[in-house]
A = this chain, B = another copy of it.
Amino acid sequence: MSTGSSIGIDIGGTKISAAVVKNNEIVSDVKVVNTSNTAKGILNQVLDITAALNNSNSVDALGIATAGAVNKDNSKIMGSTGNLPNGYSYIDFKDEIEKKFELPTLLENDANAAAYAEYKTGNGISKSNVIVITLGTGVGSGVIIDGKLMRGTSGGGAECGHIVMSIEKKRKCTCGTWDCWEAYASGTGYAITANEMAANIAKDKKAGILLEKEPGNITTYDVIEGLKNNDEFAIQVHNTWEYHVLLGLVSLTNIFDPECFILSGGMAEFITYDKIQKDLSKMALISNPQILPAKAKNNAGIIGAGILATQKYGK
């Protein structure tokens, strides 16, 4: 019997969380456990959670949001699983779950799953072309084109944080190359910009937070605090960071011509939406997509994975 509902599980480096998702909403308790430090431990946690949710609910399928790239047919993790334990990417979750529970199972990259939740339940509702940008420690993204997640040839596409932003090698990126958007627009990039700018200010011109912190020691937090006191240096850093964010949005507008951008992640709180919207309208070649904050906050990974599983396997 069709239930139109699926289990969604989000496997992160710190926590594994799961719930039943129906009609784009969580309809059960959210189960949360601390992520095991072994691959086998994580597999057992996922099987236990699945058993518990499957026993007390009637569901059609199961969706897993995971760190790392997922292959094109959403069946396997391909790698780049960050802070998850060794061997994690070799776990065949789909096979293990389908053997044990007869629940058809889909895997999706966690950023893609969260972006899809934002598209279906957040500020992307009623749109078809939506780009979700996560401004956090890094810059993540999910791209929805004509209502479908863009996944690329291998499944690992939509790494919009890795647009190259300089023809000169100025700033190393975590990915190993230079000057990706992430190296400027992320929270990490924010602090680098602050310290670079501080190093260029002469001793006798220093004021505000620059009197308290030496170049090299200024944190993103320091600058955000400085903004509250109208610290001149903090305002300059912030404007520079917003300009770096803007340049990436200009590139993505010219490439994708989306209906909207949705900005999520901790750094998205500090965006001046009306200013950046106005600047985008001046600089973009094609169109002026809306720039909106994210709405689907917690559990977006669970919701996205659940919706995707129901779409693919719902009876």
Contact = CB atoms under 8 A, between A and B. Distances in A.
Interface string A145-180: 100001111111111101111110010000101001
Nearest to A260: B153
A280 to B, nearest CB: 11
Contacts of A163: 163, 251, 254-255
Interface stretch (A112-120, A199-207, A224-232, A281-289): A281-289
A233 interface: no
A255 B286 contact: no
A66 interface: no
Interface string A247-274: 1101100111111000000000000000
Interface in A51-110: 69
Nearest to A158: B255
B289 A160 contact: no
Contact of A152 (B166, B184, B287): B287
A113 to B, nearest CB: 17
27 contacts: A128-B153, A129-B153, A143-B255, A145-B150, A150-B256, A152-B257, A153-B257, A153-B289, A154-B257, A154-B286, A156-B257, A156-B287, A157-B255, A158-B257, A159-B254, A159-B255, A159-B285, A159-B286, A162-B250, A162-B251, A163-B163, A165-B165, A166-B166, A167-B244, A177-B283, A251-B251, A255-B255
Interface of A: 69, 128-129, 143, 145, 150-160, 162-167, 170, 175, 177, 180, 184, 243-244, 247-248, 250-251, 254-259, 283, 285-287, 289
